[in-house]
Structure 1
């Protein structure tokens, strides 16, 4: 097998291995040569072989198993947001908004019928562009030069923003624990994720500083309702992060303010007045519904030009019917009042659940957002297995982790659509599950 691998650079070696895997010469579970053996066989530096394996690991083509070596990855399912398929359990891992709080678009749809849009016309609907400019500029430093771009959702915007600035194996700073879609975007594109720890005030200063020292070329940060933790940047933390970034003005900073209009927290940006490469992304999916695949991006003019260029070979523009519908809904006072009510509802249900958990001896912050991040003091996967026996399907924190670290003791739960009785039952069942797992650990120890 070793003699079949070719290449003198990391990219050539990685491509050779990809070809062998695609042609079936290497199959899922097959072991790859140890790094030292591969480097000696090909006559390259050990770091070159390490880089080749890292590229394949980041892309999900191979997996590193410590002493078990590096092996070809199988077609294992990847964690995704949304409802789990084929389960009879009560699913608490969806990350979905409450459908009853998504605005009815019927009246707005009747008001947007206009002449067709043809090739060569402006790609952004004028009404939406004007409203978006006011919305985004209100949360950026006064006088900051900016341009608006519309994409098919936040994930689309982030993927294209990274693609216009990075090449394969470039390093990207990601929050740890991290939003699932960000993990997938970075992995599939072959970028190198660098974890930055998150605490109750958001991305940590020391973590960002360490990531910059490792040469990251982009930073993705959630200023409010960080998924999965629910943390939001405090004013002091945002100021400290801006100070760290001041020495790196050309590192692309992407701020994913996905919760925006629903948030119960003020927006504190880590984008400084003098930063040269930046983008603030706001999707409408949390408050107008996941099927409204539209996000507005404000960015510096050069980044906006590059982002628009990334759109031209494919979608070119987002449907003007969708743009007009979003504009009609997002400027309707009744709809905006409903969105504010939805945000208050999510916050109230999460607070109620945190209070019930406290009675079970489990202390958690309700945070901000659609989910609650619950510390258990016991292995999350073992607790989740106990909860399955009680009729609940939950997400253990391991799914959101970057890098190699101990198994998580956290659960991410979407509980805002449970009634009072189910909320109380869930808290009681979690308390019982944690006590069972701890008892098992004591017996095993």
Structure 2
């Protein structure tokens, strides 16, 4: 397309309006490359600064994206229903070979729902007719949860996924303007949630054993009253807390609350990978049961669309959480809870989850070994993701896209000021089923100078 012929007003605003009009009418499609600043400036006989200003305005409203020397491209229509960091993770073109950006489990490794649905339907031909005031957690599921929980919780309930659990718990333990200690890097939707609730995040650095005890102490000294952490299969790094680190972090929290006038601190643990994690199930609740809310999601192990996460912790927090839900959704579908009970007790489903755990373990190590052969050394970690250091984040993403691979940008995962190390991209290694050497070669090239 000769874009210059569609521009009537040659001001910065007029150029931006012309491009916007062409996008809305479908004459410019997502993925189309726009002329360079100098090309269009010459065609319109205007200064490059005028065209550059128009491109910046279009980029600010999400219509185009600049990919450095590759050029400026039309973006798909923004997903306005997504929070900001979710939207950052969703941007980018479709992968032509592998989409390793999602952080989702491999559908082929989830236990089949058909047999469980059939058995539950046979026992309950219709949806439960219990009253609106029946217990929100069905008794068989509560027994299973108590038997497997990493500490003895005063209360247990289930909600609609891990992020719902984080939101409901934060609403109980934090107030507008409170400071919350979070991992850096950490989980982007958590950062969006804290912004939405008017909470200030305090970044806490990690090492190979999880959140650093000295950094947590500094965050608490800076006024943090809530700590949110991932005890294992940390997203994005794959780090898991060791039992020793768990005890150290609990000691830091306990010492901070030791004085008679010391503030109360709550800890929220997001065990999002649950039963597909290979690491030990640890919790600060083993030492601080009255201050820890532990969340275990079944999305990665049994399917995101079940929308079930279990929440266990002190009655003072969980009773308020359940009461608040009674004024909204009320409860998580008891029918789905019974499906989960079936999946947690059926031999074939148990074997499927155990097999998935072994497969993810093997895939992480196979890709890390292949990366090492190409000069990139990364600890395999746990869970579905790898945190790949790169010289330049945008360059790495463009190189990956050119090879047909989509990965998640690292910037949305950063809780504090950006580092000067070039950045990272997150790679969902759990979705790499084969061709480990070929994938590793592309990742190594993307990470290089």
TM-score normalized by the length of structure 1: 0.76
Q: Deviation per CA, 1:89-125, whole angstroms, max 9, x where unpaired?
A: 4321110100001111111112223252332222211
Shift of 1:403: 2.1
Partners of 1:312 and 1:304 lie apart in 2 by 12
**Using a 3 Å threshold, how does the CA distance of structure 1 residues 112 and 426 change in structure 2: closer, same or farther?**
same
Which of 322, 328, 341 aligns to 2:342? It is: 328
SS in 2 for 1:322: helix
Partners of 1:265 and 1:286 lie apart in 2 by 15
Partners of 1:359 and 1:86 lie apart in 2 by 29
Q: Deviation per CA, 1:2-33, whole angstroms, max 9, x where unpaired?
A: xxxxxxxxxxxxxxxxxxxxxxxxxxxxxxxx
Shift of 1:134: 1.4
Shift of 1:380: 2.3
Contact 2:100–2:431, Cα closer than 8 Å, also in 1: no
The reply on whether 1:311 has 2:325 as its aligned counterpart is yes
The reply on whether 1:80 has 2:118 as its aligned counterpart is no
Q: Which residue of 2 aligns with 1:287?
A: 301
SS in 2 for 1:109: helix
Q: Which residue of 1 aligns with 2:100?
A: 92
Contact 2:83–2:192, Cα closer than 8 Å, also in 1: no
Q: Which residue of 1 aligns with 2:113?
A: 105
CA RMSD of aligned residues (A): 2.0
SS in 1 for 2:388: strand
The reply on whether 1:337 has 2:356 as its aligned counterpart is no
* Equivalent residues in 2 for 1:132-143, closer than 5 Å: 132-136=145-149, 139-140=150-151
Q: Which residue of 2 aligns with 1:171?
A: 179
Contact 1:172–1:217, Cα closer than 8 Å, also in 2: yes
Which of 369, 374, 378 aligns to 2:388? It is: 374
Partners of 2:289 and 2:220 lie apart in 1 by 15
Shift of 1:181: 2.0
Instruction: Give aligned pairs, total.
Output: 355
Contact 2:101–2:427, Cα closer than 8 Å, also in 1: yes
SS in 1 for 2:269: strand
SS in 1 for 2:227: strand
Shift of 1:220: 0.7
Which of 432, 436, 443 aligns to 2:445? It is: 432
* Equivalent residues in 2 for 1:254-293, closer than 5 Å: 254-293=268-307
Q: Deviation per CA, 1:135-178, whole angstroms, max 9, x where unpaired?
A: 21xx11xxx45111111111111101100121111111111100
Unaligned runs of 5+ residues in structure 2 are 1-79, 258-263
**Using a 3 Å threshold, how does the CA distance of structure 1 residues 272 and 110 change in structure 2: closer, same or farther?**
closer
Most deviating of 239-248 and 280-289:
239-248
Contact 2:95–2:401, Cα closer than 8 Å, also in 1: no
Q: Which residue of 1 aligns with 2:315?
A: 301
Which of 112, 120, 140 aligns to 2:133? It is: 120
Which of 383, 388, 400 aligns to 2:401? It is: 388
Partners of 1:122 and 1:272 lie apart in 2 by 26
Shift of 1:274: 4.4
**Using a 3 Å threshold, how does the CA distance of structure 1 residues 135 and 379 change in structure 2: closer, same or farther?**
same
Partners of 2:367 and 2:218 lie apart in 1 by 36
- In our comparison, the structure showing a higher alpha carbon Rg is 2
Most deviating of 398-407 and 366-375:
398-407
Q: Deviation per CA, 1:367-396, whole angstroms, max 9, x where unpaired?
A: 0000111223x1222222222222222123
Which of 105, 129, 136 aligns to 2:142? It is: 129
**Using a 3 Å threshold, how does the CA distance of structure 1 residues 238 and 227 change in structure 2: closer, same or farther?**
same
Higher relative contact order (CA 8 A, sep 6+): 2
Which of 202, 208, 219 aligns to 2:216? It is: 208
Unaligned runs of 5+ residues in structure 1 are 1-74, 439-445
TM-score normalized by the length of structure 2: 0.75
SS in 1 for 2:202: strand
Contact 2:231–2:270, Cα closer than 8 Å, also in 1: yes
**Using a 3 Å threshold, how does the CA distance of structure 1 residues 145 and 86 change in structure 2: closer, same or farther?**
closer
Partners of 1:118 and 1:255 lie apart in 2 by 32
Q: Which residue of 2 aligns with 1:147?
A: 155
Partners of 1:399 and 1:274 lie apart in 2 by 31
Partners of 1:426 and 1:409 lie apart in 2 by 20
Contact 1:363–1:375, Cα closer than 8 Å, also in 2: no
